[in-house]
A and B are shown apart, each in its own frame.
Chain A
Amino acid sequence: MNRWLIQQRAAFALALQRLTSTPVTSLLAALSIGVALSLPAAGQLLLASLQQLGQGSAATPQLSVFMALDADDKAGDKVAAQLKSHPGIAEVQFVSRTATQKRLREAGLAQVIDSLPKNPFPDTFIVNPRDTSPEALESLRSELAGLPRVEHVQLDSAWAKRLAVLLNLGRTLVWLLAALLAIGLVALIFNTIGLQVLTKREEIEVSRLLGATDTYIGRPFYYFGALQGFLGGLVACAIVYAGFALLQERVAELAELYRMGFSLRQMRAGEMLAVLGLASALGWLGAALSVRQHLRGH
């Protein structure tokens, strides 16, 4: 084994020994780091779950053209002909008011529908436009709204767009939170290592006199910081896993009530590795900054 590897191994063993020699302090530090990291990790995972909602909607925007309630079949045929011959429309699908009523009855709303004096649903055309740019969609919507006996035209992708914007906002907030907590983590490790350097002052002085380089002196502290970050990452993964496991069933029940295709998903192996890697790297960074700062005084 070459000297570099021997020294890495020795430094790692020393860091591990220092970590286990103060189990309570190490555990409390890991808990603090873990709780801090679990917030952005859980936020990221929640956003990933919410994204399913948006993905469940139509990939291409559609327009729903609702006829007036009192529009007869002749008016419907006329609108259908106009839609089919329209150059900006790729496809048209007709959903009759009877079909809509039947679908909702099958969806468990039979009691409500039966209590109504007459069918409240209009005949509807689902239109797939050729050009899906916002300007073209808006122009087509206005044009179709002006057709005779058309009551209302709705752009079906609007809610998905709103969800996408909200998700983007959420993502930004999660990144902001993650950045703030990462700074907090680095500061925490910086402080811990600073105290360690002070308590090891004598050992550092003797090692220097015996020919130790700054890198040699700093190495066990770097490993200590990385190990503490890693343990914090493990705690964060455990918190998120347990929290999501507890919530999963309740959220599924709620989603079922609202007939939403939504469920909380657990962390994947790759995501756990990313949390552990990031936590270790932040621990290493905090230690490196601290050693650099505190060894200047020696």
Chain B
Amino acid sequence: MIRFQNVYKRYPQGLEALADINFSIDQGSLTLLKGHSGAGKSTLLKLIAAVEKPTAGTVLVNGENVGALKRAAIPWLRRNIGLVFQDQKLLFDRNAFANVMLPLAIAGFPPAEADRRVHAALDKVGLLDKARVMPVALSGGEQQRLAIARAVVGRPSLLLADEPTAHLDEGNAREVARLFHEFQQVGVTVVIATHNEELYMPYATGRISLAHGRMEAGA
């Protein structure tokens, strides 16, 4: 599903974010990316989603070298990836329903089918009764669940999450961790960058540990 071969990432200012990264992640697994702040976890996720390009090496997603993708091909890759961010990146000028609808609108789903999917996604994360609520009126945990609903509504085969529980209390964090496990169980490949390894311990099928941009242990 995902394969890194001798991957390096250096930023123009000379900062080496990743060096000599090699691992592979199987379809349907739940992999934890561990490491301190600045270890390179977010950069690694960005390389998978083609938000960044590797300075050297190969990043393969479903057999495709995403580092070599042309600009026009990147959107099609991302439509098959669900992204969950630490800061959620919700749009605060529209309600919960419209936020979850966005990936389907981008993909051009027929309205009836899109409606059905949005309802199902909101139901899955327990926010169906808050479909018409604006994000600003939701709690931190609800906002994160809304972001997860948006990430999975297009039924991606790969779900990438960057510190999804960083700002949540324990109860909400456990609820979010359980949701990721549920998606993994139905065949979605889940990669979570986290400080809180313990939270996902019961569900994780693999771990990648980073320190100062280098791998400490393989998946």
Contact = CB atoms under 8 A, between A and B. Distances in A.
How extensive is the interface on chain A, given as a class?
Answer: 10 to 19
Contacts of B83: 209-210
A216 interface: yes
B15 interface: no
A1 interface: yes
Contacts, number: 53
Nearest to A8: B108
B102 A206 contact: yes
A211 B76 contact: yes
Contacts of B89: 202, 205-206, 209
Among A1, A7, A212, A216, chain B packs the most CB atoms within 10 A around the CB of A212
B93 to A, nearest CB: 8
B103 interface: yes
A214 B103 CA distance: 15
Contacts of B77: 211
Report whether over half of chain A's contact residues are helix, strand or loop; otherwise say mixed.
helix
A116 interface: no
A6 B49 contact: no
A6 B111 contact: yes
B218 interface: no
A213 B75 contact: yes
Given A210-B78, A213-B75, A203 B108 contact: no
Contacts of B75: 208, 211-213, 216
A210 B106 contact: yes
Contacts of B79: 210-211
A250 B194 CA distance: 81
Given A1-B110, A4-B108, A10-B105, A213 B91 contact: no
A209 B103 CA distance: 9
A209 B110 contact: no
A208 B71 CA distance: 11
Nearest to B78: A211
Interface residues on B, range: 20 to 34
Contacts of B105: 7, 10
B72 interface: yes
Interface string A149-189: 00000000000000000000000000000000000000000
A3 interface: yes
A119 interface: no
A206 B91 contact: yes
Contacts of A211: 75-79, 103, 106-107, 154
Contacts of A1: 110
Q: Which 6 A-B residue pairings sit nearest by Cβ, starting from the closest? A: A3-B108, A211-B79, A211-B78, A213-B75, A211-B75, A210-B103
6 contacts: A7-B108, A203-B91, A206-B91, A207-B102, A209-B83, A209-B89
Interface of B: 49, 51, 72, 75-79, 83, 89, 91, 93, 102-103, 105-111, 150, 154
Interface of A: 1, 3-4, 6-7, 10, 202-203, 205-214, 216
